[in-house]
Amino acid sequence: MEDRDGAFPSSLEHGYPRRLLNLLFILNTSVEPPTTDEIIGDSDLGYGSGSRDSDLKKFKRDRDKLAQQGFHIVEITGAGGRQNEQSTWTVDRMRTHAELGLISASDAEILAHAVDAATEGGTSPLMPALSSIRARLRGRMDVAPQQDAARSIDPRLEAIWNAWCLRRALPFDYTDSKGESRPHSVEIYGLFSQAGHGYFVGRDVEDNAIKTFRCDRVRAARKPTGAYDIPQGFSIRDYRFLPFDFSGAGLVNVSFSFPRTLGAAEIEDITHGRGTIVDGPHDVFTWNISVRSIDAAARFALAHASAGMRPASPSALVDAWNDILKGVVETYG
């Protein structure tokens, strides 16, 4: 059978991607699932080297490569388990394909709105994943295309996301808040958004210290290298910083109170989910957290004074609160 140009398409064109795509094509279009020998004996498909072992290994690598892309190819052993019966192969459709019938039109709309809200502004470090998810909804389930159809992803976010997915350290140049630039190589442990910016947290390989970096301050990300594991017990929530985190001083345990009438969403926005919140006395919640600067902690509470936030302990925190207030009374009173 000839193609439009009169020449049969060669599997050598486009390299191994065409071989994998054609393997998938064959599995999707065959009347009967092909056997192992049919697959590895097919030179047009890209196997058939003459060495069965070599072709079997290539077939295994190709299945693994397709699995990385979400296509799971499984072996069907001989019906009835007859001896010497060749295995056949098929796409595991349940593991591979989404079951869109489980989602109602209303669910799809909620999902689309959620993804659109999270990607508004284009700064979330989850953009690459969320854009891919949104694209899968496009044109399906009557979900309208994303409003900004050409919402391009910052290549730095792509680089950070890919490095995290691969669990490979990301080398990059970085300009800090003071304007100083230097190279880093970071094993990324987690990602978060805060106040309209994206951040990643990980081990700086050279300094062997856990650090937080702002995504838009990354310059010139390079190819990730060096595999790593994320330490057990790592919690990204602990790195959603607050103004009292920036000091070289040691940690001090402090407590604040919030009135019980304050909404949970507002408390979450203030506390960033850090520390612990427990029932306190006299119709308040008590927020326990460790801080590096008592003065910054007092100022943080003052910034939320009209919401009812108050310093509770230790006395140094209450004193810092009062000192600032006395200064204002003295200046403006």
Partner 1 sequence: MAKPSDTLKQDELLRCSLRLLEDLTAAPGHRMTLDEAGAALGINPRQVSYVVDCVGSLSNLSTGTRSGVYIEHGDIVLVGDASLLAPRRLDLNESLALACVLDSLSVPEDVRARVQAALGPVDEIALDASPFAESGEHGDFLLPITEAIGYGIRCRISYRSQDDPVAVPRTVDPIRIERAGQHAYLIAWDIDKDGVRRYRLDRIAEVIHTDDSVERHAEEGLAVAESIRAHGSIATVRAQSAAELLLPGWAGLFDLHEVEGAVEASLSFTSDRWLFDQLLAASPRIELVGPSETKRAFAAYARDLLIP
| Least distance (Å) between residue 113 CB and partner 1 | 5
Is residue 73 within 8 Å of 89, Cβ to Cβ?
yes
Residue 147 touches partner 1, criterion: CB under 8 A: no
231 sits near partner 1 (criterion: CB under 8 A): no
Q: Rule CB under 8 A: is residue 69 a binding residue for partner 1?
A: yes
Nearer to partner 1, 104 or 253 (CB): 104
Q: How far apart are CA 185 and CA 176, in angstroms?
A: 15
Of 13 and 279, which has the nearer Cβ to partner 1? 13
Enumerate residues 174-213 that contact partner 1 by CB under 8 A. 189-196
Find residue 75's DSSP bridge partners: 89
Comparing CA positions, the residue from 132, 21, 125, 27 lying closest to residue 76 is 27
Q: What is the rounded CA–CA span in Å between residue 22 and residue 29?
A: 10
246 interacts with partner 1 by CB under 8 A: no
Helices (H), 225-293: 264-271
Q: Is 322 in the site for partner 1 (CB under 8 A)?
A: yes
Q: Which residue reads 């699932």 in tokens?
A: 33
As measured in angstroms, the least distance from the Cβ of 83 to partner 1 is: 26
| Tokens at 249, concatenated | 């001083």
Contacts of partner 1 in 258-277 (CB under 8 A) = 259, 261-266, 268-269, 272-273
Q: Which residue has the tokens 């978060």?
A: 192
Among 74, 211, 299, 316, binds partner 1 (CB under 8 A): 299
Among 50, 82, 83, 99, indicate the residue that binds partner 1 (CB under 8 A): 99
Per CB under 8 A, the list member of 49, 57, 60, 100 interacting with partner 1 is 100
| CA within 13 Å, CB half, 240 | 18
What tokens does 35 get? 């056997």
DSSP letters spanning 8-27: PPPTTTT-HHHHHHHHHHHH
CA 63 → CA 44, 278, 315, distances in Å? Answer: 18, 51, 64
Q: Does 227 bind partner 1 (CB under 8 A)?
A: no
* Distance separating alpha carbons of residues 165 and 126, to the nearest angstrom: 11
Binding partner 1 (rule: CB under 8 A), the pick from 74, 205, 302, 316 is: 302
Whole-number Å distance between alpha carbons of 197 and 160: 14
321 binds partner 1 per the rule CB under 8 A: yes
| Region near partner 1 per CB under 8 A, out of 23-31, 50-58, 74-82, 286-294 | 23-31
For partner 1, the closer of residues 64 and 183 by Cβ is 64
Q: Is 153 in the site for partner 1 (CB under 8 A)?
A: yes
Is 304 a residue that touches partner 1 (CB under 8 A)?
yes
Is 225 a binding residue for partner 1 by CB under 8 A? The answer is no
247 lies in the site for partner 1, by CB under 8 A: no
Of the candidates 183, 220, 187, 218, the residue with the CA atom closest to the CA atom of residue 201: 187
Q: Which of 140, 219, 222, 223 binds partner 1 (CB under 8 A)?
A: 140
256: which residues sit within 8 A by CB, 6+ positions away? 286, 287, 289, 301, 309, 310, 311, 312
Taking CB under 8 A as the criterion, which residues in 29-68 touch partner 1? Answer: 29-31, 34, 38, 42, 44, 65
Closest approach, Cβ 29 to partner 1, in A, equals: 5
**Residue from the set 76, 227, 278, 328 that interacts with partner 1 by CB under 8 A:** 328
